[in-house]
Structure 1
Amino acid sequence: MLDGPRLPPRSGGAPDSLVILLHGYGADGRDLIELGEIWAPLLPGTAFVSPHAPEPCAMAPVGRQWFGYVERNDRERWAGVEAAHPALDAFIAAELARYGLPASRLALVGFSQGTMMALHTGLRRAQPLAGIVGFSGIHVQPSSREDDTARARVASRPPVLLVHGDQDPVIPVSALTRARVTLAGAGITPETHIARGLGHGIDADGLDLAGRFLARVLKPQACA
C-alpha cells in the first residue's frame, strides 16, 4: 500500500478537502510535501499527502518511480501508467475513505512522471475529482490500435491546469501543446501556462497559479 508524508489542515479541524501530491521520477513523497505548506494559507481546511511511488528507482537508488523510464517513448509510458494505475487508484480510494470525503473534494497535483499518473488515473475515476494540476508532464496516450478502448475509459472530466517551462530539457514544452489537443479529444479544455525561461521545475508563478486554481476548485461548499 502506498504511503508518504502528510500535512494536516492548517485550520486544526477535520479536513474539508484533500490534495494528493504525486512526485516525479527518481524523487519520493518528501519532494513535494512542502507545496502543502506554501498553499496552506489559501487552503486552510485542506489535508495534503504525498505518497512514495511504488517502485525503487532504477536510476536513482534513493528515489522512487511510478514506472520504469528507460526508453522514454510513448509505448513505454503507456505501459507504465497502465501498470501503476491500480496502486494509485486504490490509494485514492483509501484516502477518501480515511477522511470521509467525496471525490469532489479531492485534487491531484503531479510533477513530471507524477503528472502522467495524475491525468491517467484522475480521468478514469468514476466520480469526478475537484481538479488536476500537472507540472512539466505529459498526457500519456496509447497506440492508435488501443485508442478507442482507452478513450472509452475516460470516466470524468474535472478542471485541469497544466504548467510547463519553455526551456524544459527533460520533457519539451511541446508536450503541453499536445496535451491541449488530446484532452480536448476527451472533452476537456485545460487551463494552461507556459513559464518563460523555466527548465524542468516549478517556479513562483506556477506555484501561485496552482494555488489559486486549487483554492477555486476546492472552495468550501456552502451549507444548504
Structure 2
Amino acid sequence: MMKSFGPLSGVFTAPARGGEASSLILVMHGWGADANDLADLAYPMSLRFPGAAFFVPNAPEPCSMNPMGRQWFDLADSTAGPVAAGKLVEQSVAAAIDELGLEMAAVALTGFSQGGMMSLHCGLRMTPRPAAVVSFSGALLSDEGIAAETGHPSVLLVHGTDDQVVPFAMMQAANAALLAHDVSVRCVERPGLAHGIDPDALTAAIDFLADHLPG
C-alpha cells in the first residue's frame, strides 16, 4: 500500500504476522527508479522478519535524466544534495517510528546504488543511531561528520565484482574509510555480479540483519 511518513511517501508493507511491528526496515531505491523497483524485497525478507514493517520511499526529486523515475540527489551534486535528502529521510524515519511505536534501535536503513549511498550517509550520522545499515552496490559519499559521532551502527556492504555503474572499488574504499572510523563493517563480494541484487546478496543482507533486528 502507498503511505506517507513525514515528507516522504512510498510503498509500505505491514508485518506479515499481523499486529504491531517489532522493527522497521527502510529500503531506498536507486537513481532513476522509484519505490516500486524494490518493493518486492519485502516478501522474501518478511519470511525471516515476520514482525518487520517495510517502507520503500520514493526519492524526493524527479530524476534529471529520466523524468519517470526519481533521484535522491542530482549526480552533479554529491555534497549538498545528499545532505538535503538526508534531512528528509531522517524526518520520515522519525515520523514512521513515532506512528509504529518503535525505537531507532529497531530500525535498519538499507538501499541499492544511490539508495545505498543514502543508507550510509544517513545511517552513520543519525542520532539516535539505527540498529544496522546495508548498502547494496553503493558508495560512501563522504566520511565527514562520522568521526564526531560516538558509536555507530553495524554496516554491511554488498557489491558485485563486475559492477560497471558503481565500481567494485567503491566498496573497498568505503570499507577502508569506515574501518578508519572504528565502524563495524562486513563486506560481501559477489563474483561476476554486475549492478544489481542477486539472491545471494539478499540472503547475506537478511543474515546480517538477523544479528541486529528483532524478528
> Which range, TM-score by smaller chain?
over 0.9
2:201 aligned with 1:195? no
Q: Deviations over 1:91-121 (max 9, x none)?
A: 1111111101000000011101111111111
* Mapped partners of 2:150, 2:87: distance in 1: 15
Residues 1:115 and 1:156: Cα distance change in structure 2 (over 3 Å): farther
Q: CA deviation at 1:184?
A: 1.2
Q: 2:174 aligns with which of 179, 186, 198?
A: 179
% of aligned pairs identical?
41
Residues 1:137 and 1:15: Cα distance change in structure 2 (over 3 Å): same
What is aligned with 1:14?
20
Q: Contact 1:125–1:155 at 8 Å: present in 2 too? A: no
Provide the secondary structure at the position in 1 that maps to 2:53.
strand
Tell me which amino acid in the other structure corresponds to 1:198.
L
* Mapped partners of 1:83, 1:173: distance in 2: 27
What is aligned with 2:162?
167
Q: Which moved more, 1:153-162 or 1:19-28?
A: 153-162
What is aligned with 2:138?
137
What is aligned with 2:10?
4
Q: Contact 1:123–1:156 at 8 Å: present in 2 too? A: no
Provide the secondary structure at the position in 2 that maps to 1:132.
strand
Q: Normalised by the size of structure 1, how large is the TM-score?
A: 0.89
Q: Contact 1:168–1:198 at 8 Å: present in 2 too? A: yes
Residues 1:151 and 1:59: Cα distance change in structure 2 (over 3 Å): same
For 1:46-195, list aligned pairs within 5 A: 46-70=52-76, 76-141=77-142, 147=144, 150-154=145-149, 156-195=151-190
Q: CA deviation at 1:216?
A: 2.1
* Mapped partners of 1:22, 1:85: distance in 2: 11
Q: Which has the higher strand share?
A: 2
Q: Contact 1:165–1:201 at 8 Å: present in 2 too? A: yes
Provide the secondary structure at the position in 2 that maps to 1:4.
strand
Aligned length: 209
Q: Normalised by the size of structure 2, how large is the TM-score?
A: 0.93
Provide the secondary structure at the position in 2 that maps to 1:93.
helix
* Mapped partners of 1:46, 1:39: distance in 2: 9
Tell me which amino acid in the other structure corresponds to 1:217.
H
Q: CA deviation at 1:155?
A: 5.1
Q: CA deviation at 1:181?
A: 1.1
Higher Cα radius of gyration: 1
Over the aligned positions, Cα root-mean-square deviation in angstroms equals 1.4
Q: CA deviation at 1:82?
A: 1.4
Moved over 3 A (4+): 151-156
Q: CA deviation at 1:212?
A: 1.3
Q: Deviations over 1:5-28 (max 9, x none)?
A: 111101111101000000010011
Unaligned runs of 5+ in 1: 71-75
Q: Contact 2:23–2:102 at 8 Å: present in 1 too? A: yes
Unaligned runs of 5+ in 2: 1-6
Tell me which amino acid in the other structure corresponds to 1:82.
V
Q: Contact 1:103–1:128 at 8 Å: present in 2 too? A: yes
* Mapped partners of 1:11, 1:137: distance in 2: 31
